[in-house]
Amino acid sequence: MNERDLTRYHSTLPQPTGRVYREQIDFNDVEFRFSHMKAPRGFGSWAFSTTRNANHDQIWWFTGCTFANARRMARERAERELNRHLVAGGHVTLYVLP
């Protein structure tokens, strides 16, 4: 491939949109359900991450709130912080950690 072909190829790839929309954020609670044998709900401390095997610095902690509020705050944080990583038509999965 020459430089002209590479330029043409890269121009067809999806480009970052600069905005994460609410519909592009999914929540995966499979590991939480497996660990606790119930759906996440109620009051307590909640941990979310964009990867299944996250380091401690990649985990978003929300303490002293209900799961619904923690989920809302995690969605807002994803909208703020993940804009530069998301391409058009893509989506983000946030994992609810046990």
Residues 6+ apart with CB under 8 A from 86: 16, 17, 20, 24, 92
Q: Decide which of 90 and 31 is more confident.
A: 31
Q: Is the per-residue pLDDT at 1 higher than 90?
A: no
27 pLDDT higher than 80: yes
What number is the average pLDDT over the span 25-32? 92
Q: pLDDT band at 22, cuts 50/70/90? A: low
Contacts 24+ apart (CB under 8 A), 39-47: 40/67, 40/96, 41/66, 41/67, 42/66, 42/67, 46/70, 46/71, 46/74, 46/96, 47/96, 47/97
pLDDT at 93: 87
pTM of the model: 0.72
